[in-house]
């Protein structure tokens, strides 16, 4: 699969990445995320992360949907990015010993 265009990368997203990289611990991350995102956005991000973890563990789509409430479209999209994206999911999964 070809890499998608990088039109999402701009000065603002680069600055956001620097801000995230400056966070020192889970408490700081939670405080920043809560100020940055709506509750619904945080719930969606959390759901996607849980989907990525379950996919990494080899859990079938149907079971992932039952456990997380994620639609098959969301599960498929996370799986596509996990497999063909920039390696962000895999990087963090490895660091967390998953």
Q: Is residue 2 part of a domain?
A: no
64-76 residue pLDDT tens: 999 999 999 999 9
**65/46 Cα distance (integer angstroms):** 14
Using DSSP, state whether 82 is helix, strand or coil. helix
Residue 98 belongs to some domain of the structure:
yes
Q: Which of 85, 25, 79 shows the shortest CA–CA distance to 53?
A: 79
22: containing domain: 8-37
Query: In the predicted model, what is the mean pLDDT of residues 86-98?
Result: 93
Q: What is the pLDDT of residues 1-39, one digit of tens each?
A: 455 567 888 999 999 999 999 999 999 999 999 999 999
Identify which of 39, 32, 20, 27 has the alpha carbon closest to the alpha carbon of residue 88: 20
Average pLDDT (49-56) is 98
Per-residue model confidence (pLDDT) at position 71: 98
Number of domains within the chain: 2
């Amino acid at each position: 699969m070809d890499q998608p265009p990088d039109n999402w990368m701009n000065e603002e997203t680069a600055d956001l990445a620097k801000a995230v990289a400056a966070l020192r611990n889970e408490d700081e991350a939670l405080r920043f995320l809560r100020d940055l995102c709506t509750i619904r956005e945080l719930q969606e991000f959390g759901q996607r992360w849980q989907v990525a973890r379950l996919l990494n563990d080899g859990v079938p789509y149907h079971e992932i949907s039952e456990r997380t409430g994620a639609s098959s479209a969301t599960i498929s999209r996370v799986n596509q990015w996990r497999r063909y994206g920039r390696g962000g999911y895999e990087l963090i999964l490895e660091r967390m010993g998953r």
